[in-house]
Amino acid sequence: MEKISTSASAQTAPSSEESEDGGSEHPKTEDEGPAPQRDIEVSAGDMRGLGSALAAAYGKLMHNGLQRAREYYTSTPPVSCTNAKWQELGRNARLGTQMCCPSAAAFFEGLEAGLGWDVYEALVDFEVYTIELQRRAEERRKAKGKSSSSSSSSSSSSKESSGSSDASDSELDGGTLASMGTPAPGKDEEQAAKALPNGRCTGFALGGVDGQIGVVAQTADLPPLLYGYGDFDTVLCLKTPQAGTLVYDSDGRLCPIGMNSSGLGISVFNLHLSQTTGFEQPALTVQTVLWELLLAQHTLASGTDWLKNVKVPLMCGSALLLADATGSVTVELNSGGPPAISELHCGTPTVRANHPLQDSCKPSFGGSERAGRESERRQAALTRRLVAWCAKAPERANGASAPSSGEDALAVLRSSKKVRNLSTLACVACDLRQRRLHVEFRERQPATEAEVMKIAKELALPAKRVAKALAAGSVQCKTGRRRMTTGKPARHFTRWARHAFTLGV
């Protein structure tokens, strides 16, 4: 018998925001009732039943997330991916999955039966984004042949983002909004929201400390407009009588970050590599690889062995962090060859961002020089924070010389504004020893027109400038209001809400 629950026995334990994440206090509005829960639990007797049960509980969010992506990539000029190309990717993903991912294939079969539409078209998120990145790379190549003045104008488009400076990455509270200065001429509030920044995830994995520590953590840095501003991010707890899986998923996209009951933790990173041969033949998508590792209850050892022996190509580039109690590795997937797996790190963190670390992948990096430098800076910033954490071990009550819990891992991520920045929709940490998934969600609270005018008056700023800062999510403030669940651009205050979920299997 399949079981569906949107009230997790996964022991949801939300905690209040800390002062470092706060800002100016605003009075509460009238009680709007509780926001939708952040977790869904389903159980069934086998993988196919598990997929069917998840379709019933999660299908609407999946459909809405897919439609959001379709509208952007297939309709917003310049078009990155046609509907026909999207369907081709889905067909090749289905063939590749059926050839070498038995657990994921059965799960997807049940999902598709419950959804009534082609689930594999929802499993090419990284691949479609790679096509968009390839379009940008081609624009850069064309621009290099022009004069610097024409290059500056020709490389811009409604989909292109020029990247963020360190200052624009910083979140503001109500008291520091004055530092925004005078408004810059150009796009209005809605046009500014259409810019699609590059993926900017940063994370680390740690295992092998006398078998007592297993942590995988990362920021989920995703284009807010394309992922519903994080309004629908959900934790999924999937159980069969034999085992379970606990994952964070953004906007119903079926791109899991989490753990299984065998003790394997997984995080995933965009990695723009130039090879594209996987698009034209049966291949594995990034999401399929993640689900097979989790649902087949792989450990770190069996998971890396499986990756080494995959018989079909990967569809596009991506990177993983894998860890359990024995240690941690980073894996770089590419369609031009076998997965590149690092050496096993025992007792020391494996840190990564969005640039290639393995020699076999470095020559095919397709990102811009600026994107590569920014990724290296974020990785270096996180490494410094980890070193600083270890240096303070004698000051801690438990004497831990490394982040040994999910809460510790979240603290490290949030300690750097370069790591947790304006693109971050959530911070996710897997505590593999306790089987707990810790998530720090970025939540939006509506800002009223009266508040925009009040802030503008108090800080002597143009109202348009204040509205633009609020639309970008630059201002943190705990209003006590119900979090927004529209998935649409709007002026808002942000806050960070921490939750913890336990895998009981």
Q: Measured in whole angstroms, how far is the alpha carbon of residue 259 from the centre of its chain?
A: 15
Average of per-residue pLDDT across 89-115: 98
Query: What distance in Å separates the CA atoms of residue 422 and residue 408, rounded to the nearest whole number?
Result: 21
Confidence band for 197, pLDDT divided at 50, 70 and 90: low
C-alpha 64/C-alpha 62 separation (Å) is 6
What is the Cα–Cα distance from 391 to 411, expressed in whole angstroms?
15
417: closest CA among 163, 192, 183, 164? 164
What lies within 8 Å, CB to CB, of 118 at 6+ separation is 87, 90, 112
Question: pLDDT tens across 129-141, in order?
Answer: 999 988 888 888 8
- What are the two backbone dihedrals, phi and then psi, of residue 203, each rounded to the nearest 5 degrees? -165, 180
Secondary structure (3-state) at 85:
helix
E-assigned strand segments in 141-299: 172-173, 203-207, 214-221, 234-239, 244-249, 257-260, 265-270
Please enumerate, as own/partner, the contacts of 302-306 that have beta carbons within 8 Å and a separation of 24 or more.
303/264, 304/329, 304/331, 304/341
Task: Characterize the bridge pairing of strands 234-239 and 39-43.
Answer: parallel
The rounded percent of the chain whose pLDDT value lies above 70 is 81
What pTM, to 2 d.p., does this model score?
0.88
Cα–Cα distance for residue pair 479/495, rounded to 1 Å: 9
Q: Which of 212, 194, 255 shows the shortest CA–CA distance to 65?
A: 255
Structure confidence by residue, pLDDT tens digits, 251-302: 999 999 999 999 999 999 999 998 777 788 999 999 999 999 999 999 999 9
Which tens digits make up the pLDDT trace of 374-411? 999 999 999 999 999 888 877 665 556 678 899 999 99
Neighbouring C-beta atoms of residue 312, cutoff 10 Å: 18
Tokens of 53: 């049960």
Scanning the structure block, which residue is given the tokens 């539409």?
117
Distance CA 455, CA 24 (A): 11
- What is the pLDDT averaged over residues 443-470? 94
**Type of residue at 444:** R
Q: In whole angstroms, what separates CA 212 from the centre of its chain?
A: 27
> Helical H runs in 210-299?
286-295
pLDDT for the residue numbered 173: 46
Report the range of poorest mean pLDDT among 12-16, 155-159, 318-322.
12-16
Integer Rg of the chain from CA: 22
Q: What is the dihedral of CA 69, 72, 74, 78, to 10 degrees?
A: -150
- Contact by Cβ (8 Å): 320, 256: no
Q: Which of 208, 137, 200 is nearest to 169 (CA)?
A: 200
327-353 pLDDT, tens digit per residue, is: 999 999 998 889 999 999 999 999 999
Beta bridge partners of 427: 219, 440
Written as six digits, the tokens of 24 are: 């100016």
C-alpha atoms less than 13 angstroms from C-alpha of 185 in its C-beta half-sphere: 0
Burial group, residue 313, by CB count within 10 angstroms (0-12, 13-18, 19+): buried
Q: Does residue 219 have a pLDDT over 60? A: yes
More confident call, 428 vs 162: 428
Residues 336 and 364 sit within 8 Å (Cβ to Cβ): yes
Contact 483, 469 (CB under 8 A): no
